[in-house]
């Protein structure tokens, strides 16, 4: 084949860079968004772990001064307020279900505020396990199929022995 050239060194490859970018960019963006999403998930998990630990630290003292109701302050409300204060505004977003076990007993779940009670966090000397079961929505649409229902479900817990209050 005389005169037929497959490519020229002068640059007949004008569209190849655009084609390569079109092939690589979606994969790169997916990996970038997945890394950012995973970072957010770890941050939310650690923030809620910190919040439950701070709530447990407050609960061991038997105080009730964080309860915002003026009449008959309750310890369980004060502990829940300590958890909310330490959660960096994530408490309502993760919609936690609180479970409490006293002295090695079965964890009892408290899904709504009406179920909370005065003995929720035990008495003096009791060993109490406080667990929050949380749900966080996955924001990146391509990541949602990897999580059941498009939500990240996780639990955080703290164990404490109440002081003699």
- pLDDT tens, position by position, 76-133: 888 999 999 999 999 999 999 999 999 988 888 876 555 566 678 888 999 999 999 9
Q: For residue 69, give both structure tokens.
A: 């109701």
Alpha-carbon span 90 to 152, nearest angstrom: 14
pTM of structure: 0.81
Residue 61 has pLDDT above 80, yes or no: yes
Let me know: does 55 contact 79? Beta carbons within 8 Å: yes
Q: What is the mean pLDDT of the chain?
A: 87
Alpha-carbon span 148 to 137, nearest angstrom: 10
């Amino acid at each position: 084949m005389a005169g037929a050239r497959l490519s020229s060194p002068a640059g007949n490859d004008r569209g190849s860079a655009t084609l390569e970018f079109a092939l690589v960019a979606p994969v790169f963006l997916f990996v970038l968004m997945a890394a950012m999403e995973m970072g957010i998930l770890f941050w939310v998990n650690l923030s809620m772990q910190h919040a439950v630990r701070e709530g447990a630290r407050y609960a061991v003292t038997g105080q009730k001064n964080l309860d915002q109701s003026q009449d008959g302050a309750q310890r369980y409300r004060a502990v829940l307020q300590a958890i909310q204060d330490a959660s960096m505004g994530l408490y309502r977003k993760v919609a936690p279900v609180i479970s409490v076990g006293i002295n090695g007993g079965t964890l009892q779940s408290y899904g709504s505020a009406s179920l909370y009670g005065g003995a929720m966090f035990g008495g003096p000397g009791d060993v109490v396990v406080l667990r929050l079961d949380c749900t966080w929505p996955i924001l990146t649409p391509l990541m949602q199929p990897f999580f059941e229902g498009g939500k990240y479900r996780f639990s955080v817990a703290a164990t404490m022995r109440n002081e003699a209050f």
